[in-house]
Structure 1
């Protein structure tokens, strides 16, 4: 470890790796710090995206196998969760081969220090008893699962996404507290593996950040698979190690039995080890780093990225690709010679996310609330998949696409997209073309004039425009076309 660096990144998750590798490849002297080698890769590799999607993959195979009985196949036997989790760990180990300290030292030329970092000055940190400094420091320290603090919880073995994948026996009854993305993904996965699943959510619908139509469709699909919901409800106590007291929306109390409880109610932060006061770094009233539009803390030489940037004015986005966005914003600004007047502010205008249930929900761009807040005129158009041939043959006619677009003008082919939501199998893949359309201001005509191979699922990106454009052609234009004909 050197005495001084151009940049220090504290935390080797998605944010820290993106910042450190990006700056190193641009020729800067970079130090990357992580607590231990197993935490390299952050939540995404160790506790989040990778293990959860591997588990979802297995649960989908099990579900499809059981569904095949309608065609005459006979399926029996129970899922061996230990074998499932072994598969999950194998997938993690494959990725970990190129996400570890030794690999980054050798392949990227990064200085990587394993240990706990703490500030000892505005631009100086100490790790493993050694001190070093940098022109700029980026905090990429992530977040932690919010704990459930109710009477009796001390008698319950509570799981979060951080230790859920340590299970080696399938719980007969799984109680999921929280109806957000983690709760929905893991709730469906364990139901498909064979658990009886009950979800308790404090909002009156699941996935409250999604459009209500998408939430409703997904909830119906999950209920059809056997997931039970208690919405507008709260776990208020644990009567014993296997019974939750749930206060329902009508005020009544229900005792819900469980073998395992998964808590997924939000994120929190812990910065104690960093000794932030010694660097002049303040927290806001929610315990988050106080940041400006440029991801800069109250210390002008210290920035934040990833979950640690939740206190930014643009808001929190707890996704690995949000960390990538933060990193690209920071790198752009750090190498920009112009200073703040020319620096790039953090913006989520072109941001997107996917909830990896089945069906998936993919959301992108500016939605109704954003457009109303900015006083932007728009129209809302909806495409139901009931008559889409691919949806019919693959049995997902329930799917839906909702777009927010420019109001129709005299030239219906000129309409641009602001944003929208898909709920469909593989929605995260179907939506990529629309995300590109928003970023590059493609028009309805660009989709209308594209010839899609039949019957690809992505033809819906054209079909949504067909009726709107043809029905929206002004009468005078129709007469002119007929006259020309």
Structure 2
């Protein structure tokens, strides 16, 4: 017996689920939102991801800047109080939870059910003995951190992003396994809180999805803060308070360890959903999806991490914009990551947007790579980040380079995530690079680096004969 019918049922109240459910409810639809417990509202981003990590990074940056003030004659003393750190993080989370909690969402008009959900049929969900039918269903069950077993590490404190914000001490020697964004962000933060941080990775560099030039600059900055990186290496075992590192060459090295953080990627969360009852097929542990985020059951879609493409909160936003459009509009859209941006919130930040060089080559797109550093950028000089770097990929235009559009790029600099936003917009809107020449940048702002790079490109296209014509015209005119 069906307890109630809905226009949309959403399983999971994280970034993917909240966006889909609220978006459809605001369009006048009857929506049911399901999650296991009220503490899950807001999902990983609010509870164990973006929000607490950025609060921790902010505090780490304050401490780092205070220490740098020694060069001005100030003295910094005392020990970091981990409880005050945690209190600050909780306060910031609670502020955001004011609009991400059951009471608030129900006032908005959402029906909410708490408990373990599973498919009952192709268009219905069972939860605690009740059955709800949906015209469409969205799976937004997120992901969980991957954990590995390390021989001998049983007695050591081990953390993932789901547990790190409950830590009650600052580890003296903190080993981070994995050299992706999460390990680097949190590793640098704990280094600034007082830990001796070591980054261990089986690959040959940090941030393997970034341009190697950008990764190298960031690694150099981290090493200047006494963060040690080990590549082509894994933690093979732990002996007492020592981590035994095994390199690809077979060599071993021992480093001190008091705690371990695992930043080894994510696993998907849908084992309890009984997907087979809804005719939803999987392959290699992933739900099979088309370019519209539609499963093999045409009434069921996926949003957020569960879609297993790009695991970012703003990827869930993009998913939901696509889903809501396709639910309500006759003009259907397909998933398109050509202008997708992301930021690694280390200090300096790494901001990447659009397509990278490998993708452009794979698609056979005719492009040019433009690159510059910040050594002659006046704001970088005053603020001490001349090490910064900007890479931009543009269309290759033989006869009129000013008509080229921005295809993608990367920047490493303080606040790179903010500085690059106009480049993201230019890519999305198809703004040609000559338009940047018409913009006056307030002086001195770091974003002027965009105009400097693009102007250099346009000037470089002037051939000697072109300059000669311009010179003659100038001298002949009245």
Work out whether the TM-score is over 0.5.
Answer: yes
Shift of 1:237: 2.0
TM-score by length of 2: 0.97
Q: Distance in 2 between matches of 1:152 and 1:121?
A: 46
Per-residue displacement from partner, 1:422-441 (whole Å, max 9, x unpaired)? 00100000110000110111
Q: Distance in 2 between matches of 1:319 and 1:309?
A: 11
**Secondary structure in 1 aligned to 2:250?**
coil
Question: Runs of at least 4 residues of structure 1 off by over 6 A?
Answer: none
Q: Distance in 2 between matches of 1:232 and 1:389?
A: 39
Q: Which residues of structure 1 form unaligned runs of 5+?
A: 311-315
Shift of 1:373: 0.9
Shift of 1:146: 0.5
Question: Is residue 138 of structure 1 aligned with residue 138 of structure 2?
Answer: yes
Q: Distance in 2 between matches of 1:126 and 1:154?
A: 39
Question: Is residue 44 of structure 1 aligned with residue 45 of structure 2?
Answer: yes
Shift of 1:2: 5.4
Residue number in structure 2 paired with 1:256:
255
Residues 15-414 of structure 1 aligned to structure 2 (within 5 Å): 15-106=16-107, 108-240=108-240, 242-285=241-284, 287-310=285-308, 316-337=309-330, 342-414=331-403
Q: Contact conserved, 1:410 with 1:474, CA < 8 A, in 2? A: no
Per-residue displacement from partner, 1:342-381 (whole Å, max 9, x unpaired)? 5211111110100000110000011111111111111111
Q: Contact conserved, 1:365 with 1:438, CA < 8 A, in 2? A: yes
Shift of 1:413: 2.1
**Secondary structure in 1 aligned to 2:89?**
helix
Q: Distance in 2 between matches of 1:256 and 1:5?
A: 57
Q: Distance in 2 between matches of 1:297 and 1:155?
A: 43
Q: Which residues of structure 2 form unaligned runs of 5+?
A: none
Q: Contact conserved, 2:352 with 2:411, CA < 8 A, in 1? A: yes
Q: Contact conserved, 2:339 with 2:407, CA < 8 A, in 1? A: no
Q: Distance in 1 between matches of 2:272 and 2:248?
A: 40
Q: Distance in 2 between matches of 1:28 and 1:22?
A: 9
Q: Distance in 2 between matches of 1:296 and 1:270?
A: 17
TM-score by length of 1: 0.95
How many pairs are equivalent?
473
**Secondary structure in 2 aligned to 1:457?**
coil
Per-residue displacement from partner, 1:70-122 (whole Å, max 9, x unpaired)? 1111111111111101100110011111100110110x211111211111111
Residue number in structure 2 paired with 1:421:
410
**Secondary structure in 2 aligned to 1:183?**
helix
**Secondary structure in 2 aligned to 1:92?**
helix
Indicate the larger mover: 8-17 or 253-262.
253-262
**Secondary structure in 2 aligned to 1:74?**
coil
Shift of 1:408: 4.5
Q: Distance in 1 between matches of 2:195 and 2:153?
A: 22
Per-residue displacement from partner, 1:23-66 (whole Å, max 9, x unpaired)? 11111110011111111000000000000000000000000000
Q: Distance in 2 between matches of 1:292 and 1:184?
A: 33
Residue number in structure 2 paired with 1:13:
14
Shift of 1:249: 3.7
**Secondary structure in 2 aligned to 1:387?**
coil
Q: Contact conserved, 1:409 with 1:415, CA < 8 A, in 2? A: no
RMSD: 1.3
**Secondary structure in 1 aligned to 2:287?**
coil
